Structures are given as C-alpha cells and as structure tokens.
Amino acid sequence: MSIASNFKSIHKKEWEINFSQCAPNGALNYTDLCNLLQLTAAEHADLGGISFTDMQTYNQAWVLSRMRIEIQSLPQWRDVITIKTWIVSLENSRSVRVMEVLKNNEKIISCETFWAVLNTQMRRPESLALPHAHFEKFANDFTTQERVKKVAVPPDAEFAGLHKVVFSDLDIVNHVNNVKYLEWCLDFISSKILLKHTLKSLDMNFLNELLLDDEVKIYRSNHDTTTYFSVVKDTKTCFSLEFKI
C-alpha cells in the first residue's frame, strides 16, 4: 500500500466528453456517466492506497451496492467537466462515497454511492483490511437531495425480455459490471423517450452478483413519470432500477 504525494481527501478529476460516450442527440450516455463517476472514485482510491490492486493483497475488492444519481442536465460532446468525490463514511465493510459533476463551475449532476468490501475468494463481505485514517470523512456533506434507497419494484412488473451473461458483461472482479445492468434495462426503453427526455434521477440496487453464462429475466413496470426494472435469476432479484423523467 502506498499513498500518492498528490493525494487529497477531496478528489477532483477533469474529463472531456468524446463522441464515443454520447447518444445520437449528442448528450453523454447514462452508462458512460456511471463509468466516469466510478473511474473517478477508483482513481481516488488508488491515490489513497485502497485501490483494487492494494486490496487484492488481502483478496478484497470494492463492490457497488447502491447508487443514486440526480441530473439537472447532461454534458454534451466536447464539453469539459470536473467530477469531485469524497468519502462520507467508511466503517468495517461499508462505505458511503458521494460525487458531483461540474460544468463551467456549476453543479449539473449529483451522486451518492454505497459500497461493500467483498472477499473475492469467499465471495462474501468483510471488513476492509487496509488502513484508511488518512482519508478525511465528511459525515454531513451529501450532494443529492435524496439519499440512496432500497428500490421497491411494484408487483405489477411485467416480463420484458431475457439476457444471457456474455464475456463482454464481465469486469475485473469476474462478475457482471454494474453498468451492464443499467444498459440491459435501458435497451427496453423507447429511443424516443431517451432522446427527448433527460432522466431526472436514477436509483440502482446491486443485490446479487451474476457470472458468465447466467441467464436472467428482466421485468418492467411503468407508473406515470417513474419506471421500474428488475433483473431476476431463477427467483432471486439481482438488480433493481427506478428512474424518473
């Protein structure tokens, strides 16, 4: 474990939006937004000595459990944005990290994430083995108007489609990358809705990991301006999504 000389408890990262990250309307894709948020968090962990590489010494890794994103506007192709991130709490196997996206020094996106430490051999949570006292914790500094929550998918959710996990769905922890769940669900939304409307908020719960060749059913429920999704393997819900337009 090593702490970088430029490590700070509040981390800032500048990104320029490129064309491969954008939808046909020129706005940043929601999946790429999630990727940028997580890459910024990962860089902060790396600078502070609690990265995936550091944690693998103890067969540990961070896994995302819950995520809430509130959006005022989406960046466009060639926009330069700044993502700021800091830790609200880190105790035992759990951590809350928040982020905000700035464009021209104005906040356009807020995010709260809830993480767990996973033993990558035993596939179960355990306390972080690395020291982290050098990270200042900002217990009351949240960025979103609402906190991360448990997504309650209504019982009227209807079958939308099937998906079989393929190699391109996997990440370095050898399970489905969390952004893929969102991608699967948004593929069942009309392109007209996604191009015309900016989603105001997304709540995601990552409940059970999926592995290569797993087969899942995807369910959907629409309620006015709110849409729900669940990804289910056998009878077990692995992912829940709620978004508002």
Same structural domain for residues 133 and 162? no
Which residue has tokens 């179960």?
A: 124
Same structural domain for residues 171 and 88? no
129: closest CA among 64, 55, 62, 63?
55
pLDDT (mean) for 167-182: 93
Same structural domain for residues 118 and 186? no
Same structural domain for residues 109 and 224? no
Same structural domain for residues 206 and 92? no
Q: The whole model's pTM is what? A: 0.95
Boundaries of domain holding 238: 149-245
Same structural domain for residues 97 and 178? no
Q: Are 144 and 70 in contact (CB under 8 A)?
A: yes
Q: What is the total count of domains within the chain?
A: 2
Same structural domain for residues 48 and 110? yes
Which residue has tokens 């430029």?
A: 6
Query: Which of these three, 146, 166, 192, is where a domain ends?
Result: 146
Same structural domain for residues 139 and 199? no
| Phi and psi angles of residue 145, each rounded to the nearest 5 degrees, phi first | -75, -35
What CATH number is attached to the domain comprising 196? 3.10.129.10
Across all residues in the chain, what is the average pLDDT? 96
pLDDT (mean) for 183-209: 94
Question: What's the Cα-to-Cα distance from 1 to each of 30, 90, 126, 177, rounded to whole Å?
Answer: 33, 18, 19, 25
113: closest CA among 129, 100, 127, 126?
100
Residue 1: pLDDT band with limits 50, 70, 90: low
pLDDT (mean) for 146-172: 96
Same structural domain for residues 153 and 127? no
Query: Which of these three, 119, 146, 173, is where a domain ends?
Result: 146
